[in-house]
Amino acid sequence: MNKIEINDNVIEVPNSWLEITFEQFIRFTKLVNGQKTEKELMEEYEDLDDSIKSLQISIDNVNFNTKVACFWSGLTEEEIAMCEIEQVEQIIKSVDFLNEKYQPIALDKFKFEGETYYLPNKGMREQNFGTYIEAEQVELNNKRIENGNLDFLPRQIAILCKREGEKPGLIDEAHIKEREKLFNRLDMATIWDVAFFLQQHEARLMTLFLTYLQTEETEKQQSQLKTQSQATDG
């Protein structure tokens, strides 16, 4: 956290993806989406004189930056108004990382609130049909996420990431919702890392699982034929 002294008080502002939760990120995303783009502002003020238009757009941008500073500092607009310009700039600069593309890291597990959660097994050798159903749900959710609905990210992780000893395969809806609620408090760095893993490996996991099912069925048929052959020979 970046510690900034404002009016004899020290406030903490996040300066990395590790320091913000998913629910904070979603609320901030909604704040950003509520702000008009430069093009939209130009269209809204197209009837104004150029000098007035430029000033109006500048004021709108200042108002938006004020909301951003309030959001991450926890200060009210009145308190922000009493801050020095340099202090507000410090707050805004601290969260600059939100404008940069996150670089995910490879991981096979993560720890959260004292529990370790494991990502899907690439080998798929211990999976069951419930895993296939899970993957179908994940594929559906991925389509939603690709369309900009990030709200499904915690549910993705809730479905596929297991604690040690938990069996793979479909778990009941109540359990999924409970864990989804838990993962709303997960830091965004871990959210992005897991999302990257699922995006990269979803198709491969599905292919491996279906191949495994086919191989397992073939082995079962061969075993049955061998048993029948031995019984006939006997």
Confidence of residue 212 (pLDDT cuts 50, 70, 90): very low
Averaged pLDDT for residues 13-42: 91
DSSP letter, residue 99: G
pLDDT at 181: 94
Which residue's entry shows tokens 């009210």? 76
Query: Comparing 95 with 161, which gets the higher pLDDT?
Result: 95
Full residue range of the structural domain in which residue 179 is found: 109-217
What count of other Cβ atoms lies within 10 Å of the Cβ of residue 11? 19
Query: Comparing 58 with 132, which gets the higher pLDDT?
Result: 58
pLDDT at 129: 41
Q: How far apart are CA 75 and CA 131, in angstroms?
A: 46
Query: Comparing 68 with 198, which gets the higher pLDDT?
Result: 68
Q: Of 78-92, 131-145, 194-208, which has the strongest mean pLDDT?
A: 78-92
Q: Are residues 39 and 138 in the same domain?
A: no
In a domain, 222, yes or no: no
Residue 73: closest CA among 54, 92, 60: 92
Q: Are residues 83 and 115 in the same domain?
A: no
Q: Are residues 123 and 93 in the same domain?
A: no
Q: Are residues 43 and 137 in the same domain?
A: no
pLDDT at 137: 58
Residue 217 has pLDDT above 70, yes or no: no
Strands, DSSP E only, in the chain? 2-6, 9-13, 109-112, 115-118, 162-163
**CA angle at residue 61 from 76 to 97, to 5 degrees?**
75
SS3 35: coil
pLDDT at 19: 96
Number of domains the chain contains: 2
Q: Are residues 47 and 133 in the same domain?
A: no
Q: Are residues 113 and 212 in the same domain?
A: yes
pLDDT digits (tens, 9 = 90+) for 151-199: 778 887 887 788 887 766 555 778 888 999 999 999 999 998 987 877 6
Task: Enter the pTM of the model.
Answer: 0.73
SS3 204: helix
Q: Are residues 71 and 113 in the same domain?
A: no
Which residue's entry shows tokens 């913000």? 20
DSSP states of 43-70: HHTTTS-HHHHHHHHHHHHHHHHHHHHH
> Which residues lie closer than 8 Å to 17 by C-beta, 6 or more apart?
97, 102, 187, 188, 189, 192
